[in-house]
Amino acid sequence: MTRVVRMIQGRWKLPILFRLYADPSMRTSRLRRDLPGISQKMLTQHLRELESDRLIERIDFGEKPPRVEYQLSEAGKGLLPVLIATRNFSASHPA
């Protein structure tokens, strides 16, 4: 359990996963636009960590200019119930 906690720990981990849950495949720039306030650094860093935790997959189209997309891996999709439960809780929870 501690392991899962660590995997989703980080200011933007869940928000990123949420975006990839709402949109199956997202380009880096779009991901960034959809996460107001995130810095270039944290976006990349978190994406790298999520990737090495096998929760997301990075697809490099090898184009020029660069085009890279991210999506939930099969393992990552196992988190959907967590994401959904979190969203539900959030929705039923006025500040």
Partner DNA sequence: CGGCATCCTTTCTGATACTG
Partner DNA sequence: CAGTATCAGAAAGGATGCCG
- In the complex, the residues that contact DNA under the rule CB under 7 A are 9-12, 27-30, 32, 37-42, 44-45, 47-48, 58, 60, 65-68
| Identity of residue 18 | F
Residue ranges with strand state E in 34-83: 56-60, 68-72
**Considering the complex, what minimum distance in angstroms separates the CB of residue 28 from DNA?**
4
Kindly tell me which of 40 and 92 has the beta carbon lying closer to a second copy: 92
What length is written for the chain?
A: 95
Min dist CB 89 to a second copy, Å, is: 5
Supply 44's token pair.
């990349």
Q: Is 74 in the site for a second copy (CB under 8 A)?
A: no
Distance, in Å, from the CA atom of 11 to the CA atom of 1, rounded to the nearest integer, reads 19
Kind and range of the H or E run holding 92 = none
Q: Which residues bind a second copy (CB under 8 A)?
A: 1-5, 9, 11, 14-15, 18, 75, 78-79, 81-82, 84-90, 92-93, 95
